[in-house]
Amino acid sequence: MMEQVVIKTPLGSTKIVGDKNGITSITVLDEETTISTNIPDDLKEATQQLQAYFTGNLVQFNFKINPQGTDFQKRVWKELLNIPFGKTTSYLELSKTLGDVKAIRAVASANGKNPLWIVVPCHRVIGTDGSLTGYAGGLWRKKWLLEHESPSPQQKLF
């Protein structure tokens, strides 16, 4: 049975959904909502790690994930997990890594459908020219996340 919890983060209320098989989705909510006071056991690890990430005490997540999508989307999301904390890549580079430079639009589409906000770091993918490109959570959140992960926190990236 799927369970869910809503936590408060610096970027807004965040909903975590999952079960004993892993976390299936983490989404930021644009509207304020009631924060959960009771966290189901299957969601505790993800909740604790996300809170540690936002306080600057975690750079790599290791709780069990179980995203739902097509085989291609899962390949893209798996590759996103290889982008190191504090680093970025472009859609073009990601397409090359996946073995098909012509699949850039499909890669961008899969990136945009990533169900695991922050944990599968789609925010680390930028335009080839270094620009911030579309982000389902809003470009201001993408900018915040990249600055949060910057090795020079006192310096603004964008």
Q: What is the pLDDT of residues 136-148, one digit of tens each?
A: 888 999 999 999 9
Q: Is 0.85 topped by the overall pTM?
A: yes
Q: Which of 80, 83, 122, 146 is catalytic?
A: 122
Residue 134: count of CB within 10 angstroms of its CB:
12
Cα–Cα dist 47/82, whole Å? 22
Question: Do 3-55 and 71-149 fold alike per CATH?
Answer: no
Output the CATH code of domain 3-55: 3.30.160
Candidates 3.90.1150.10, 1.10.10.10, 3.20.19.10, 1.10.540.10; CATH matching 71-149: 1.10.10.10
Q: What is the pLDDT of residues 59-109, one digit of tens each?
A: 999 999 999 999 999 999 999 999 999 999 999 999 999 999 999 999 999
What SS3 class is residue 88?
coil
- Please confirm, yes or no, whether 43 is among the known catalytic residues: no
CB 74 within 8 A of CB 90: no
Q: Give domain limits for the chain.
A: 3-55, 71-149
**What is the pLDDT confidence band of residue 124, given thresholds at 50, 70 and 90?**
very high
